[in-house]
Amino acid sequence: MRIDIITLFPEMFDGPFSHSIIKRAKDKQLVDIHLHQLRDYSPDKKHRRVDDYAFSGGAGMVMMIEPVANAIESLQSKRHYDEVIYMSPDGELFDQAMANQVSMFENIMILCGHYKGIDERIREHFITKEISVGNYVLSGGELGAAIVTDAVVRLIPGVLGNESSALTDSFQNNLVSPPVYTRPRDFRGWKVPDILLSGNEKNIDQWKLEQAIERTKIRRPGLLDEDEQ
């Protein structure tokens, strides 16, 4: 998979993309991530300006249409993109099902918004999918893009050490994960449930399912169908 990210702050990705799962995926050549400085595509070669005042006034600046269009078209001239994604507070709320879908693509482009947003004509003519990571506003789309990238990359076959690990994550089946335990079996009198030490896989699986359903009812009831609540 190839991921191209258009951003005003490529250095913000140094940390999350240089460690843990994403670094492992890059080292295995399972994902190819490229960061593109939006200012490089500004028609203003001297000042590299990418923002301007909004028509009709109002507080805040707006990302100009020309630099963004130039960046997107430059990348599209080299390859086909399955999605051109814009990180936006009013986009479709990102969830596990969307991560699963995006992980199956070959090439995606992510545009990180900033200021008061981008010229609406970019959204109308270039963007194919708008994503939000939550009902709140961040200073820019970079952190959201990093979240989407992390959630997607870990689903690519071969990235995780255990292929089945991602399939048992929270939200894969509209349930949160059941509780997990490790050694020691008894810590300060706090004991691991006996069922997990029984060796009976059928009973253990049933216990995990029951725990997952119960936790989901308490913590994420909106994930369950009415007949399951």
- The count of other CB atoms within 10 Å of the CB of residue 30 is 14
Residue 140 is predicted with a pLDDT of 96
Establish if 53 belongs to a structural domain: yes
Same domain, 29 and 141: yes
Same domain, 146 and 224: no
Of 102, 120, 153, which residue constitutes the final position of a domain?
Answer: 153
Same domain, 217 and 110: no
Q: Is 101 exposed, middle or buried (0-12, 13-18, 19+ CB in 10 A)?
A: middle
| CATH number of the domain where residue 35 is located | 3.40.1280.10
Residue 147 is predicted with a pLDDT of 98
Same domain, 190 and 95: no
Establish if 177 belongs to a structural domain: yes
Over residues 40-65, the pLDDT tens digits come to 999 999 999 999 999 988 888 999 99
Establish if 161 belongs to a structural domain: no
Of 153, 186, 208, which residue constitutes the final position of a domain?
Answer: 153
Same domain, 199 and 146: no
Same domain, 89 and 131: yes
Is residue 195 over pLDDT 70?
yes
Burial 137-174 (b: 16+ CB within 10 A, else e): ebebbbbbbbbbbbbbbbbbeebbeeeeebeebbbeeb
Over residues 97-138, the pLDDT tens digits come to 999 999 999 999 999 999 889 999 999 999 999 999 999 999
How many percent of the chain have pLDDT more than 70? 94
Same domain, 103 and 29: yes
Distance CA 214, CA 207 (A): 11
Mean pLDDT along residues 72-94? 97
H or E stretch covering 202: helix 201-219
Average pLDDT score over the chain = 93
Sheet with 107-112: strands ordered across: 32-37, 2-7, 107-112, 83-93, 129-132
Same domain, 98 and 45: yes
Establish if 102 belongs to a structural domain: yes
Range from 20-34, 83-97, 158-172, 203-217 carrying the lowest mean pLDDT: 158-172
Same domain, 33 and 104: yes
Same domain, 31 and 132: yes
For residue 22, give the nearest of 208, 159, 171, 128 by alpha carbon: 159
Establish if 201 belongs to a structural domain: yes
Is residue 159 over pLDDT 80?
yes
Helix (H, G, I), strand (E, B) or coil at 179: coil
Same domain, 16 and 121: yes
Mean pLDDT along residues 177-191? 96
Rg of the Cα atoms in the chain? 22
Range of the domain at 178: 170-228
Establish if 78 belongs to a structural domain: yes
Is residue 156 over pLDDT 70?
yes
Comparing 107 with 161, the larger pLDDT belongs to 107
Is residue 169 over pLDDT 90?
no
Residue 190 is predicted with a pLDDT of 97
In the chain, the number of structural domains is: 2
Is residue 206 over pLDDT 60?
yes
Residue 163 is predicted with a pLDDT of 58
Is residue 30 over pLDDT 90?
yes
Same domain, 148 and 174: no
| CATH number of the domain where residue 184 is located | 1.10.1270.20
Comparing 168 with 128, the larger pLDDT belongs to 128
> Which DSSP state fits 62?
E
Establish if 186 belongs to a structural domain: yes
Query: Two tokens at 98?
Result: 């969307």
Establish if 174 belongs to a structural domain: yes
Q: What is the pTM of this model?
A: 0.89
